[in-house]
Amino acid sequence: MFSVPDLSDLNAGAALPAIFLGAYACLLMIVDLFIPRTRKQITVALTLVGLGAALALSLLALGDVVEFGDGAVAFGGMYVADRFSDAVNVTVLITAILGVLVAYNYLERIRRQRSEYYYLLLFTTLGVMVMGAAGDLVIVFVALELLSIPLYILSGFRWPQEASEESALKYFILGAFSSGFLVYGIALVYGATGTTDFRALWQSIGQIVADDASSKYLLLVGTGLVLVGLGFKVAAVPFHMWTPDVYQGAPTSVVAYMSVAAKIGGFAALARVLGAGMGNLTLGGEAAAAWQSTVWIIAALTMILGNVVAIVQSDLKRLLAYSSIAHAGYLLIGVAAVGTPAVTDEAVRAVVMYLVAYAFTNVGAFAVIIAVEKDDASNTGLDSMRGLAARQPLLAASMAVFMLSLTGIPLTAGFVGKWFVFKSAVAADLIPVAVIGVLTSLVSAYYYLRIVWYMYFEQGKGEAYVPAPLAWAISIATVGTLALGIFPYLLSDLANGITLAFGR
């Protein structure tokens, strides 16, 4: 018989930032009904207030100023509020704030200023937060849907423009498809182990490995399908096909947010599931987890394809789509390193640092595209960058910083992220994939530098429209990218002490 748990046993307080944001989003939906259509800036301001408050709560938790709840485990192990989830919360909330700032004037310009945009964005953010705190495969799935469904809608926010509709439909169909893989994978894992809870999963897997039971094959297939499902979300090769089309067609403000938030969610889930749930899934007495080789091969393919195909792109949004595929590859190196028990902590921290760096950099880069984009969604070609430095020196300087950061040049956040990810790969003895990583970084330098040279070395119209909120977003992103690069200990101090609860 089921026993109904006492409410006080739930330790719901531990999930306070997420619960707050969820409640706030619901409340905003209702409050918004009473805000007249012409005064939607109030909704925007309320959204920012909500995100800011949630960010403050998360920062308090991350800085160990206040401890919400009693210990990390909440809802009977469904929700884990450890330092990892705090870091994920902070990262995604900063991303969301930047996402709102870049969206406001853009939506005004394309005449799609509707409040749905803002509370859908809040729900997606909530999805990412829950994903980073998942302690159970079922929660991973629920959070993934909470993250994805608002994004499907947001991608089509520019209806009746065909590209936007196509983007939404494509994203929805492929997303639903990948959810199917994930659920099936979870079902098989459940079939092999009889549980979806990470703690029980770990023990059960330990037993299967120790006994060398035949259910390990079922388990492996299940793990593979989970990898496929999450691989779709983070746009890893060969599950990346949707990315360029969706990124190109969706409203740029959505892409700015989505390209980062979906990655944070996807990689947080990968780290949780693989690191805390299945880290001990070893075969044949090897020290490293069985999924490690699969992950690093995917990482290698992702880096190679993303970077090589990005070279020939002539549209900025498409180029950054391939670049985001490539960066999924670098992050996957870190995930692969999680599979070596001695390096797990270091690798998880590296992934977190990379995500923080990527958040500032990539939202910033898309924000610059928003600035040059015309109201009819045109002028997103590489040519729009020509001569930008002469007409818009600060905008061009910011873009140059983002491009150097994406390349991984020192004194930018991107370098610090790459340094730690490659360091964890070397520590995990994954030298070949690290070599592929640095060589593809070289390839990426070409197309990122091309944007810099279009801006600085060539002549052009260099037209851009930078209203105040967008300027704020770009400034925050630039300062963040530079500060984390010049003072790398900011990132490493943030990451120090992160260990996945459960596991080991």
Partner 1 sequence: MEDISLVTVVFMLPLVGLVLMLLFARTEQGYRWGALVTSLVTFGVSLLLLRNFDTGVSGLQMVQKVDWITADSFTIRYYVGVDGISIWLVMLTTFIMPLAILASFNPIKDRVRLYYLFMVLMEWAMLGVFVAQDLFLFYIFWEVTLVPMYFLIGIWGAEDRIYAAVKFFLYTMAGSLLMLLAILWLGNKAGTFSLPDILAKLETGELSFSTNTARWLFLAFGIAFAIKVPMWPLHSWLPDAHVQAPTAGSVILAGVLLKMGTYGFVRFNLPLFPEASKTFAPYVAVLAVIGIIYGAWVSYGQKDVKKLVAYSSISHLGFVMLGIFALNPAGIQGGILQMVNHGISTGGLFLLVGVLYERRHTKLMSAFGGIWRAMPLYSGIALVIVLSSMGLPGLNGFVGEFTILLGSAGSSVLSWWFTFFAAIGIILAAVYMLYMFNTVFMGALDKEENKRLPDLNWQELWSLVPILVMVFVIGLQAGYFFKFMDGSVQELVDQVNTYVMTAAGQ
Which residue in the set 27, 241, 438, 468 belongs to the binding site for partner 1 (CB under 8 A)? 438
* Region from 209-217, 279-287, 318-326, 429-437 binding partner 1, contact rule CB under 8 A: 429-437
In the bound complex, what is the minimum distance in angstroms from residue 276's beta carbon to partner 1? 18
State the Cα–Cα distance between residues 161 and 423, nearest whole angstrom: 45
Is there binding between residue 169 and partner 1 (CB under 8 A)? Answer: no
DSSP symbols for 48-103: HHHHHHHHHHHHHHHTTSS--SSSSEEGGGTEE-SHHHHHHHHHHHHHHHHHHHHH
Per DSSP, what are the bridge partners of residue 80? 73
Is there binding between residue 106 and partner 1 (CB under 8 A)? Answer: no
Is there binding between residue 433 and partner 1 (CB under 8 A)? Answer: no
State the Cα–Cα distance between residues 215 and 202, nearest whole angstrom: 14
In the bound complex, what is the minimum distance in angstroms from residue 419's beta carbon to partner 1? 8
In the bound complex, what is the minimum distance in angstroms from residue 434's beta carbon to partner 1? 6
Q: Which is nearer to partner 1, 171 or 456 (CB)?
A: 456
State the Cα–Cα distance between residues 149 and 120, nearest whole angstrom: 9
* Region from 291-299, 358-366, 377-385, 451-459 binding partner 1, contact rule CB under 8 A: 451-459
CA nearest 55: which of 12, 109, 99?
Answer: 99
In the bound complex, what is the minimum distance in angstroms from residue 298's beta carbon to partner 1? 21
In the bound complex, what is the minimum distance in angstroms from residue 403's beta carbon to partner 1? 11
Q: Which is nearer to partner 1, 166 or 458 (CB)?
A: 458
Which residue in the set 395, 488, 502, 503 belongs to the binding site for partner 1 (CB under 8 A)? 488
In the bound complex, what is the minimum distance in angstroms from residue 410's beta carbon to partner 1? 4
Is there binding between residue 426 and partner 1 (CB under 8 A)? Answer: yes
- Outline where 156-279 has alpha helix (H): 162-193, 198-211, 215-234, 242-249, 252-270
Q: Give the helix/strand (H/E) hosting 504.
A: none
Residue 24 identity:
Y
State the Cα–Cα distance between residues 71 and 74, nearest whole angstrom: 8
Sketch the per residue contact string, 453 through 472, with partner 1: x for CB under 8 A, - otherwise: x--xxx--------------
Instruction: Tell me, by CB under 8 A, how many residues bind partner 1.
Output: 33
Peptide bond into 244 cis (omega under 30): no
* Region from 69-77, 142-150, 442-450, 460-468 binding partner 1, contact rule CB under 8 A: 442-450
Residues 6+ apart with CB under 8 A from 167: 155, 156, 245, 246, 247, 248, 249, 250
Residue 422 CB burial class (10 angstroms; 0-12, 13-18, ≥19): buried
Q: What is the Cβ-side half-sphere exposure of residue 196, based on CA atoms within 13 angstroms?
A: 20
In the bound complex, what is the minimum distance in angstroms from residue 480's beta carbon to partner 1? 18
In the bound complex, what is the minimum distance in angstroms from residue 412's beta carbon to partner 1? 10
Tokens of 293: 């080789």
Is there binding between residue 24 and partner 1 (CB under 8 A)? Answer: no
Is there binding between residue 449 and partner 1 (CB under 8 A)? Answer: yes
Q: Count H helices and E strands in the chain, helices first.
A: 19, 2
Residues 315-354 within binding reach of partner 1 (CB under 8 A): 345-346, 349
Residues 362-421 within binding reach of partner 1 (CB under 8 A): 404, 409-411, 415, 419
Binding site for partner 1 (CB under 8 A): 345-346, 349, 404, 409-411, 415, 419, 422-423, 426-427, 431, 434-435, 438-439, 441-442, 445-446, 449-450, 452-453, 456-458, 488-489, 492, 496
